[in-house]
Structure 1
Amino acid sequence: MTPEVSVIIPTYNRRAMLLEAIDSVLAQSANALELIVIDDGSTDGTAEHLTLLAKNIRFEHIDHRGPAAARNRGVAMARAPLIAFLDSDDLWAPAKLERQLVFMRTNPACAISQTNEIWIRNGRRVAPGVRHCKRAGDIFIDSLRTCLITTSAVMMRIDLFRSLGGFDEIMTAAEDYDLWLRILIDHDAGLLDEPLVTRRGGRPDQLSAKTPALDRFRVLALAKLLAGDRLSPARRTAVVEALAEKCRIYARGLRRRGRIDQACLYEWVADHAHGWDTRPVPEIGCALESMQSMLREFPHER
């Protein structure tokens, strides 16, 4: 029988936490699901443990390429019309999928939804800041400066994911920020306002902690939006303002590290971005290519 939802967990060297995440999926009250785990080149024995669970999950071990590639591979294996992602360090409440499936059935025009969440930092529950509070509807502009969609809380239609090409695999961080913005151009976000996801943070192995200069990935995501023609005038102006702001922040950091040539590129983009607020121009494409080239040349920038 075809499952109603495919659950995709990417993981890298988190064997113990992964097993807890898997248990939280297997404990779901909804049973019309398939669980797909993509081991992104772990070296801590994760693959051996997954083999023992083979009867309950589908899994694949791939070369280490980052969460974007791992999630894309999981979606390529998915058989259901809906997909849900769970990071290997997060947990779901037992009713998460059941409640969200009901929401998606009740709102057939909704292409992407999320639930609310509980935040745990260093083993203690904390309250998210006001700017992180979730809401339903058109959240595109608000999402430019704060990522307002949580990957572990998302459920979306697989056709939408595939139509946009999935996560951008050149982005080893902020790949979720990039995809959600591309989706939010045309789609409102649905919200099931129940805390059905537990986000466990504050650890040094998290991408947000170990990836330097996260703004370089956010800048790339914004430049990609400006290179296309899907933005309304108001949204284009908002993207230009966010791009210029983030470029200046990143350029200051590059100068402090003596990367003057690269700093000049981002300063040039910040200075010229306000001329891009009406339509795509060739200069955006050139700047975009230079940014992508820098990411390839300096993937582990310090």
Structure 2
Amino acid sequence: MRKRPDIARITVIIPTYNMAALLAEAVESVLANSFSDVELMIADDGSTDNTFSTIRQIRARLDNDRRSKFHYLKIRHQGKSVAINRVLSRARGDFITILDADDKLPVHSLRTRYERATETGAELVLGGFSTFDGHRILGYRSLTPNKNRERLIKELLFNIKSPFHQNSMLVSKALMERVGFYDENLLRAQDKDYAIRLLREANTVEIIDKPVYLYRRYERGYTNRLRNRLRTIYYKWKVIDKHTSGCRRIMGLAWGSLVEVGKMGYEFFSIYKN
């Protein structure tokens, strides 16, 4: 039985909010990937900039096959989790991944993850990531191939440096259907929460020790960084509370606070390095 032409092997979801200036780069990085059997879904969380016209211009120059797999949905501004969930329920790819609107994919990102998943039968594939400033690569975060999932979960909750970027995941649709949607009560740290739920539910996890994601770093002012970090601490507490219990929860909340303070200093004075 032939696969319908509007159904792809991979669905890439790009949540966006007033990111028109960078969104085109993210979309182009998907279109330029060496793996082309892709459904691309833009989840617009109520943008008030020229996001729609940017998407319309890109879509207009696509051929019929790619245009049939290029979707745009705009909703009322309710947060990233809500935006992702609205298109996640419509995704038709065999595998699904998320790309933030200000980030990019390396040219072989999708092929590398898809081939590993199909060769091994893995429901969840994780990869390393590089950071860039828009012009050059700043650093690379590797992912140790022999780490077990409980260790990864612990590091997601309590380490200053996350063991992997949550958007470096490639997730089978079957796994996502079992895990369900993003937690819409989390305005931050929702990707960390979702990664933990996927790790706990996945039958098989594969790790790729090479960069499959490009994460953009900004030079923000200290006041802005401090405000964002304080907001993150609150939602990080909620994630720790959700995934721990008893004495471990109490200790985790205290340690999580110290970690976020440490991360604040790390962000001010360092970059992601090997």
Give the TM-score taking structure 2 as reference length: 0.76
- Residue 170 (structure 1) aligns with: 185
User: Percent of counterpart pairs with the same letter?
Assistant: 24
Q: Deviation of residue 203 (structure 1)?
A: 4.8
Q: Deviation of residue 61 (structure 1)?
A: 0.9
- Residue 271 (structure 1) aligns with: none
Matches of 1:249 and 1:36 in 2, distance apart?
34
Q: Deviation of residue 90 (structure 1)?
A: 0.8
Matches of 1:247 and 1:93 in 2, distance apart?
34
Residue 144 of structure 1 contacts residue 239 of structure 1 at CA under 8 Å; is this kept in 2? Answer: no
Give the alignment partner of residue 239 of structure 2, picking from 205, 216, 221.
Answer: 221
Matched, 1:141 2:154: yes
- Residue 196 (structure 1) aligns with: 212
State the structure with bigger RCO (CA 8 A, min sep 6), 1 or 2.
2
Matched, 1:114 2:132: no
Matches of 1:35 and 1:8 in 2, distance apart?
6
- Give the secondary-structure state (helix, strand or coil) at the position aligned to 1:213: helix
CA-atom RMSD in angstroms:
2.6
Residue 90 of structure 1 contacts residue 152 of structure 1 at CA under 8 Å; is this kept in 2? Answer: no
Q: Deviation of residue 78 (structure 1)?
A: 0.5
Residue 30 of structure 2 contacts residue 105 of structure 2 at CA under 8 Å; is this kept in 1? Answer: yes
Matches within 5 A, 1:185-264: 185-187=200-202, 189-204=205-220, 209=225, 211=228, 212-226=230-244, 240-246=250-256
- Residue 267 (structure 2) aligns with: none
Q: After the TM superposition, which of the residue ranges 1-10 and 140-149 deviates more from structure 2?
A: 140-149
- Residue 42 (structure 1) aligns with: 47
- Residue 293 (structure 1) aligns with: none
Matches of 2:220 and 2:89 in 1, distance apart?
30
How many residue pairs get aligned? The number is: 236
Q: Deviation of residue 198 (structure 1)?
A: 1.4
Give the alignment partner of residue 83 of structure 2, picking from 57, 70, 73.
Answer: 70
Residue 13 of structure 1 contacts residue 43 of structure 1 at CA under 8 Å; is this kept in 2? Answer: yes
Q: Deviation of residue 53 (structure 1)?
A: 3.2
Residue 122 of structure 1 contacts residue 203 of structure 1 at CA under 8 Å; is this kept in 2? Answer: no
What does the per-residue CA deviation read over 1:145-198, in whole Å, with 9 as the maximum and x for residues that have no partner? 133331331110122223222211111111011111222234464222222321
Matches of 2:158 and 2:212 in 1, distance apart?
25
Q: Quick one: which amino acid aligns to residue 178 of structure 1?
A: D
- Give the secondary-structure state (helix, strand or coil) at the position aligned to 1:180: helix
- Residue 7 (structure 1) aligns with: 12
- Residue 58 (structure 1) aligns with: 71
Q: After the TM superposition, which of the residue ranges 140-149 and 29-38 deviates more from structure 2?
A: 140-149
Matches of 2:81 and 2:12 in 1, distance apart?
15
Matches of 1:31 and 1:123 in 2, distance apart?
25
Q: After the TM superposition, which of the residue ranges 239-248 and 167-176 deviates more from structure 2?
A: 239-248
Q: Quick one: which amino acid aligns to residue 216 of structure 2?
A: R
- Give the secondary-structure state (helix, strand or coil) at the position aligned to 1:214: helix
Describe the shift of the 1:216–1:189 C-alpha distance in structure 2 as closer, same or farther (beyond 3 A). farther
- Residue 16 (structure 1) aligns with: 21
Q: After the TM superposition, which of the residue ranges 117-126 and 63-72 deviates more from structure 2?
A: 117-126
Residue 152 of structure 1 contacts residue 197 of structure 1 at CA under 8 Å; is this kept in 2? Answer: yes
Q: Quick one: which amino acid aligns to residue 242 of structure 1?
A: G
Residue 149 of structure 1 contacts residue 180 of structure 1 at CA under 8 Å; is this kept in 2? Answer: no
- Give the secondary-structure state (helix, strand or coil) at the position aligned to 2:101: coil
Gaps of 5+ in 2: 261-274
Matches of 2:27 and 2:201 in 1, distance apart?
33
Q: Deviation of residue 87 (structure 1)?
A: 0.6
Matches of 2:219 and 2:15 in 1, distance apart?
17
Matches of 1:239 and 1:183 in 2, distance apart?
20
Matches of 2:85 and 2:190 in 1, distance apart?
11
Matches of 1:197 and 1:25 in 2, distance apart?
11
Matches of 2:35 and 2:248 in 1, distance apart?
40
- Residue 93 (structure 2) aligns with: 80
